[in-house]
Structure 1
Amino acid sequence: MFNLVIFGPPGAGKGTQSAKIIDKYKLAHISTGDMFRMHISQDTELGKRVKQILADGLLVPDSITIDMLEEEVQRNPDVSGFIFDGFPRTVNQAEALDTFLEGKGEKIDLVLQLDVTEAEIKDRIAERKKVSGRADDDEDKLLKRIDEYFSKTIHVLPFYQNQGKVVKVNGIGQIDLIFGTICEAIDNAKVD
């Protein structure tokens, strides 16, 4: 099994590149954002809680996120691996993910860090908002999410760097060229 974390600020291209990775490597996609949106659209109790938290521009608490993620992994017992998109966002989540995977005899094999400037992120999200109409792309909420990323989430990288699992990829440029760099990193990690 091959497990990959794709890492970057909002608008870095995680969703776009994840779709390409899934298609080529046949990994199951676990996006915490998609899970949150699904619960919100189905108006579940969890969805109501998550909706308010996201409306405030905050990160969903670790306990909620981890429970949802473990449930999603359990639903896909026969896949060749997972791509974790938008998770982990805290060191506590990274430790919980490692513990959970170790309990299944698995591990995170690679962490891809999509490196994108803040100006590029803002341009991309403004464009995405026109197309998707995502509520979480509101400018005030976006600024909070970017701040959350750079003040909290970024601290997850050293956790994986200490394990020698992080590959930094320039996330600015043509999508297919970025994907080529990502494929090289994945293929190299699969060989190790």
Structure 2
Amino acid sequence: MRIVLVGPPGAGKGTQAAYLAKNLAIPHISTGDLFRANISQGTELGRRAKTIMDAGQLVPDEVTIDMAKDRMEQPDAAGGFLLDGFPRNVPQAEALDEFLKSEGQQLDAVLDLEVPEDEVVKRIAGRRICRKDSAHVFHVTYSPPKTADVCDACGGELYQRGDDSEETVRTRLDVYHEQTEPIIDHYRAQGLVVTISALGEVADVTERAMAALKQSDES
């Protein structure tokens, strides 16, 4: 299957993408991973992106599109893939449509993870990270530490990252609504959108997603 995963920040896209890709035996293609890989490997696209980023500018669509195309052309993606973080806007979605058409391929589904805005803010703004080890993550509501602001694992101080503040989260949501949400309408016009609730336990959301994708594939 060829799937695009969409949803607001805090919807759990990265977590669900990993589970779904494993269950469907297709590669998980994440924009963040693509940028890191191209930059660390010093590819031409990576060098272009790094120069732009080092200058404090946004990477233009064409660089992101070229990275995604290059990854989708790899042998392991021949039988399908799950895109996470791409396309991020309508021009990128149109470029993806053109690329797939040129390859004689098409998307099977666009999986839209739906989460109420207040829940997104609660999920992200409630995160606390350990200063000693950033892999130690807690949540003031869902997985609180035994002692407030102290890491259960190593005793390090827990803190809220600047980009996890409520103000920043709401700004990120505004960007999502303005730039990314329109791709849902773009793909809905093609009959590809499958919307599920991303509330509840991770395993329950995965099961919900798999059932929706199976139904979409059969219809």
TM-score range, shorter chain: 0.7 to 0.9
Q: Cα deviation per residue 1:118-142 (whole Å; 9 max; x = unaligned)?
A: 2222233245562558x89453654
143-152 vs 19-28, which moves further: 143-152
* Root-mean-square deviation (Å): 2.6
1:87 aligned residue: 86
Q: CA deviation at 1:38?
A: 3.7
1:15 aligned residue: 14
Task: Work out which of the residue numbers 175, 194, 204 in structure 2 matches 1:167.
Answer: 194
Q: CA deviation at 1:6?
A: 0.6
Task: Give the secondary-structure state (helix, strand or coil) at the position aligned to 1:84.
Answer: strand
136-145 vs 171-180, which moves further: 136-145
Greater share of residues in helix: 1
Higher relative contact order (CA 8 A, sep 6+): 1
- Does residue 210 of structure 2 align to residue 183 of structure 1? yes
Query: What TM-score do you get using the length of structure 1 for normalisation?
Result: 0.83
Task: Give the secondary-structure state (helix, strand or coil) at the position aligned to 2:75.
Answer: coil
C-alpha distance in 2 between matches for 1:10 and 1:40:
24
Moved over 4 A (4+): 39-44
- Does residue 50 of structure 2 align to residue 47 of structure 1? yes
Query: What TM-score do you get using the length of structure 2 for normalisation?
Result: 0.74
Task: Give the secondary-structure state (helix, strand or coil) at the position aligned to 1:111.
Answer: strand
Report the structure number with the largest CA radius of gyration: 2
C-alpha distance in 1 between matches for 2:78 and 2:207:
23
* Aligned partner letter, 1:33: G
Q: Cα deviation per residue 1:41-98 (whole Å; 9 max; x = unaligned)?
A: 6685323424665xx7x6x421111011011112235542110101111111111101
C-alpha distance in 2 between matches for 1:40 and 1:125:
28
1:19-30 to structure 2, matched below 5 A, reads 19-30=18-29
- Does residue 95 of structure 2 align to residue 104 of structure 1? no
Contact kept in structure 2, 1:28 and 1:79, CA below 8 Å? no
Unaligned runs of 5+ in 1: none
Give the number of aligned pairs: 186
1:71 aligned residue: 70
Identity of aligned residues (%): 39
Q: 1:138 to 1:165 in 2, by over 3 A?
A: same
Unaligned runs of 5+ in 2: 138-160
